[in-house]
Amino acid sequence: MIHFGKRRIPVVLLILIFTVNCLLAQKTHSDNNDGTYTNPVIFADFPDPDVILVGDTYYMVSTTMFIFPGVTILKSYDLVNWEYCSNAVRRFDFNPCYNLDGCSRYGHGQWATSLKYNNGKYYLLFITLNEGGFICSAAKAEGPWEIRKLPKGFYDPGLFFDDDGRIFVAHGYGKIFITELDKTFAPKSNDSLVYSGDIREGLEGSHVYKINNYYYLYCTYGGVDGIQVALRSKNIFGPYEQKVVLRDTTRGINFGVHQGALIKTQTNEWWTLLFVDSGPFGRCPSLQPVTWVDNWPVVGVDGKGVVKYKKPNVGKKYPIEDLPTSDEFSDKTLGMQWGWNHNPDSTKWSLTRRSGFLSLETTRVVSKLPEAPNTLTQRIFANYDQTIPTIGTASLEVKNMKVGDIAGLAVFQDPYAYIAVKQNKGSKFLIMVNNGKAIDSLAINNSSVYLRTIASNSTKKATFEFSFDNKEFKPLGNELSMRFNLTIFTGNKFCLFNYATIETGGHVDFDWFRMQL
């Protein structure tokens, strides 16, 4: 018997509790530690993946849209365990809307990106719907990355360096075009129509490969019930024939899995990293095996995506990696899991103003959270046991707020909700706001508070709580019904924020943020 304060707990029960906790902890990553993995390979919002192998390292880029630093690149040695490598675009200064300066780029910004490595250089080619095409380049995937605007943009581009040194891009929606590029990535030829989608509307997401003397356009008919197809031809300009390589409509974690990259390992295995619309937390990457039949890639097993499967053979075994989700704000730089909602104002936030804290100063007077600059966001990760919700907790000090300031913790999409401290004249209130509507409030005298949200990807509900001792939490307000709304087009995110509604100059300090799965 072991004593914990006034409680006596049998040793056998302690061992059982420890074992259960360990089993639950194993479910927060896809590696099952027995030679298998479970899809999605990352249970968080990393959509539109493109993957390449350079040396013994796999690199993946995903869509981040209006979040900066953005255009996130991850790296892995086994395609299962991923870690952050870089955020290729630190900020996007090509339109004032990226500063939330009277307008926004919600649902827009950087879209599906093509990642390539050629002659010692890494390249990223992407489009924004409003500003056009951009090329990023770097000598190392870790950066620094240079970005340059192109004279022409290409929708869902698939960049391709051919054996003879020529450069091409496949692109388009519904109709797929091939365009030859010069060495500056400007068009060298007119757009050539090579295939018109004939299964349904929305053929897109082109990736280009040359395998066994065939050119393959690896595309998707997008949507929640996505269809993955391959087009092939002996000539890059066609004519192309089409084959469905995966159409999984099984309800569950592989429903509609689509759009991504073909990958050949060092041991000549073939895999594909696609994504699946998994609910309000976003679109999650799914690793699927590939076999070749008559020079066609066949994805999954028996026409279905796999859920639990043997890990890729990459010639070695590598340790399990967990992507970071919590931050004590003890470093001088933000962890790479963080991104600002639109471009940040770097003069209004600091990790050194007060050591061990994230200080957020108000930037401009706004009326609501979606307009607020310097909102710090992080993807919400789901537990593989989806009966277990995800809990985000923040420690907040609020003694330096000004009248009208609102600071707190949000779950952000459309709709959004938050729990926050609001500074009134001479008094502070805890408030809960659901999609812009004040739901509940409570007068407080405290200069520090712990704010918590409990979010479930399976029930699509989030609730909000507060505490003054980080032990006993009490609910405030009502439930947020989370959605994956195309007006925002990214998964729901945890957000730390401080914005002014009357005057600027106030600031708050976040001691830490912790995510519990």
pLDDT given at position 28: 56
Instruction: Judge if the upstream peptide bond of residue 69 is cis by omega within 30 degrees of 0.
Output: yes
* Cross-strand partners of 406: 422, 499
Cα(190)–Cα(151) distance, rounded to whole angstroms?
13
Q: How many CB atoms are located within 10 Å of the residue 183 CB? A: 8
* Cross-strand partners of 14: none
Q: Which tokens belong to 351?
A: 């990790």
In terms of domains, do 251 and 370 share one?
A: no
280 in Cβ contact with 413 (< 8 Å): yes
- Cα–Cα distances (Å) from 264 to 24, 115, 214, in that order, read 32, 15, 15
> What is the residue range of 146's domain?
38-310
The secondary structure element, H or E, covering residue 121 is: strand 121-128
Cα(140)–Cα(117) distance, rounded to whole angstroms?
10
In terms of domains, do 266 and 362 share one?
A: no
- Cα–Cα distances (Å) from 71 to 79, 86, 193, 285, 288, in that order, read 19, 8, 29, 15, 23
Specify if 26 maps to a domain. no
In terms of domains, do 403 and 505 share one?
A: yes
Q: Which residues of 115-148 are buried (b: 16+ CB within 10 A; e: fewer)?
A: bbeeeeebbbbbbbeebebbbbbbeebebebebe
pLDDT given at position 490: 98
The amino acid occupying position 196 is: S
| CATH number of the structural domain spanning residue 247 | 2.115.10.20
In terms of domains, do 357 and 299 share one?
A: no
In terms of domains, do 53 and 120 share one?
A: yes
Specify if 416 maps to a domain. yes
Cα(254)–Cα(490) distance, rounded to whole angstroms?
19
HSE-CB of 160 using CA atoms within 13 angstroms: 25
177 in Cβ contact with 199 (< 8 Å): no
Backbone angles phi, psi at 347, to 5 degrees: -85, -5
Specify if 32 maps to a domain. no
Q: Three-state SS across 235-302? A: CCCCCCEEEEEECCCCCCCCCCCEEEEEEECCCCCEEEEEEEECCCCCEEEEEEEEEEECCEEEECEC
* Cross-strand partners of 84: 74
Specify if 315 maps to a domain. no
In terms of domains, do 296 and 354 share one?
A: no
| CATH number of the structural domain spanning residue 399 | 2.60.120.200
Cα(370)–Cα(366) distance, rounded to whole angstroms?
9
Backbone angles phi, psi at 222, to 5 degrees: -70, 180
* Cross-strand partners of 395: 450, 512
pLDDT given at position 29: 87
111 in Cβ contact with 283 (< 8 Å): no
Specify if 354 maps to a domain. yes
Specify if 325 maps to a domain. no
226 in Cβ contact with 47 (< 8 Å): no
pLDDT given at position 214: 98
pLDDT tens per residue, range 362-394 = 999 999 999 999 999 999 999 999 999 999 999
In terms of domains, do 142 and 279 share one?
A: yes
How many domains does one find in the chain? 2
Specify if 20 maps to a domain. no
In terms of domains, do 69 and 132 share one?
A: yes
Domain termination residue (choose one: 291, 310, 329): 310
Backbone angles phi, psi at 316, to 5 degrees: -145, 170
502 in Cβ contact with 403 (< 8 Å): yes
384 in Cβ contact with 32 (< 8 Å): no
Instruction: Answer whether 0.85 is exceeded by the pTM.
Output: yes
Residue reference for tokens 């004593």: 3
User: How far is CA 403 from its chain centroid?
Assistant: 35
In terms of domains, do 64 and 113 share one?
A: yes
Domain termination residue (choose one: 292, 310, 328): 310
Specify if 7 maps to a domain. no
Residue 337 backbone class (left: φ over 0; alpha: ψ -120 to 50; beta: rest): alpha
Using DSSP's 3-state secondary structure scheme, residue 299 falls into strand
Cα(417)–Cα(395) distance, rounded to whole angstroms?
18
In terms of domains, do 290 and 373 share one?
A: no
Q: Which tokens belong to 458?
A: 């399976």
Nearest in space to 116 (alpha carbons), one of 261, 316, 314:
261
In terms of domains, do 296 and 362 share one?
A: no
Cα(447)–Cα(434) distance, rounded to whole angstroms?
24
Cα(430)–Cα(290) distance, rounded to whole angstroms?
53
Residue by residue, pLDDT tens for the chain (517 residues) are 343 333 344 443 333 333 333 333 335 589 999 999 999 999 999 999 999 999 999 999 999 999 999 999 999 999 999 999 999 999 999 999 999 999 999 999 999 999 999 999 999 999 999 999 999 999 999 999 999 999 999 999 999 999 999 999 999 999 999 999 999 999 999 999 999 999 999 999 999 999 999 999 999 999 999 999 999 999 999 999 999 999 999 999 999 999 999 999 999 999 999 999 999 999 999 999 999 999 999 999 999 999 999 999 999 999 999 999 999 999 999 999 999 999 999 999 999 999 999 999 999 999 999 999 999 999 999 999 999 999 999 999 999 999 999 999 999 999 999 999 999 999 999 999 999 999 999 999 999 999 999 999 999 999 999 999 999 999 999 999 999 999 999 999 999 999 999 999 999 999 999 999 9
In terms of domains, do 266 and 306 share one?
A: yes
